[in-house]
Each structure stands twice: as structure tokens, then as C-alpha cells.
Structure 1
Amino acid sequence: MRLLSTAVAISALALIMNAQAWASDAGHTSEAMEHAGKAQAHGEMGHAKESLEHAKDSLAHAKAARDDHAASHKHMDEAIKHLEEAIKHAEMGHGQESAKHSEEAMKHMRQSGH
């Protein structure tokens, strides 16, 4: 029951944190953030396979956002580095470490300004 409550709370937090990005219709950045949030949540629950899938989706969108918005290239590059680490750790079954990198990726995506 506690795991379910945690999952619901994390999902709600991800939605709230991403509301601003969705409101501005930021395209690839909002998609990248959504998938990074899901990767983080699954990683924290120990679901490495699901975390891996969402981290890979987030990485693809982050790279597209970086290419679309050269001005915020620096933050998207950092987000991409963290997503690549999230993928690496999820592939090794390290859900918690993968979640940390997904969280850092979201911070840089937010700082990218779009």
C-alpha cells in the first residue's frame, strides 16, 4: 500500500512540476520532462526496465529539443548527459541511481527556459 501511495504522489508531483512546460506547449522539452519524471518514479520503485524505457524516450526528446533551441543548448547537453547515465544505471538494474540522474536531467531541462 505504501508503494502505491508513493507512486501516486510522485506522479502527481511530476504533473505539477511539468504544468508550466505543458502550458507553454514546449514540444520536445515537455515530452522529455514527462518521460524523465516517469523514469525517476519507476527507478525509485525499483522498476529498472520501465525506467530504462522512459529514460530512452526522454533522451530522444531532449536531443530534439537541443537541436530546436540552440540558445539553451548548454542545459539540454547537461540533461542529455544525465539521461545517458540514467539509461546506463537502469540497464544495470540500479533503479535508485537511475532515478537520481533522471531528476538531475529534469532540473536542467527546466533551466533551459523552454
Structure 2
Amino acid sequence: MRIISTMIVTGALACFMSTPVLASDAGHTSEAMEHAGKAQAHGEMGHAKESLSHAKESLAHAKAARDDHAASHKHMDEAIQHLEEAIKHADMGHGAESAKHSEEAMKHMRQSGH
């Protein structure tokens, strides 16, 4: 009986302690998606400077999300590659191309399961 009680308490404690990690991980992903969406919108409007700023912010959060949750590396790596391309194109003044890469980044962030 004592072993069962110990296992229940340990399991509950592990669950409560992992909740902040999952919440912060989801926070990075949602922040990355929000900024990628803004980068896409600004790119479509031809605002390369604003698109660049949001793509860089999205990239920082995407990297943090990837580092926080190893299981979703593949999709977050893809998202990061697209965000880097979005930054490159926005920096060259190619808003529409930057928007396409921001959109692809958001697709991979959604698929990452965060």
C-alpha cells in the first residue's frame, strides 16, 4: 500500500513539475507563429522592413521552441530554414517571396505538435 501511495504522489509531482515546461514551450511556438503571420502579412503588403523584423523575432522563438522540445525538431528545423529564407528575401526587398517562406514556416510550426 505504501508503494502505491508513493507512486501516485511521485506521478502527480512529475505531472505538476512538467506543466511549466510544456506551457513555456507552447508559448515559444505561439509567439513564433504570431510573428511569422505578421511577417507574411507585411511581406504581402510590400513592407519588407516590417516583414524582416517579424521574421527575425519568429526565428528566435522557433529556435527556442525547437530547443525546448526535442521530439519536434524535424518540423521546427524546417520552420527555421523557411524563416531564414524569409529574412533573406525581406532583406533584399522581396516582400512576396518573404511572405511565402513565412507561410511555409507556419505550416511546419503547426505540424511540430507544440
Do the two structures share a fold, i.e. TM-score over 0.5? Answer: yes
TM class, shorter-chain normalised? 0.7 to 0.9
Looking at CA atoms only, which structure, 1 or 2, has the larger radius of gyration?
A: 2
For residue 92 of structure 1, report the CA deviation from its aligned partner.
0.1
Q: TM-score, normalised by structure 2?
A: 0.78
Residue 51 of structure 2 is aligned to residue 51 of structure 1: yes
For 1:75 and 1:29, locate their aligned partners in 2 and report how far apart those are by CA, in whole Å.
12
Q: Percent identity of the aligned residues?
A: 92
Unaligned runs of 5+ in 2: 1-21
How many residue pairs get matched?
91
- CA offsets, 1:22-75, max 9 Å, x none? xx9511000000000000000000000000000000000000000001000000
- CA offsets, 1:76-107, max 9 Å, x none? 00000000000000000000000000000000
Q: Look up the match of 1:31.
A: 31
Q: Look up the match of 2:94.
A: 94
Q: TM-score, normalised by structure 1?
A: 0.78
Matches within 5 A, 1:1-114: 26-114=26-114
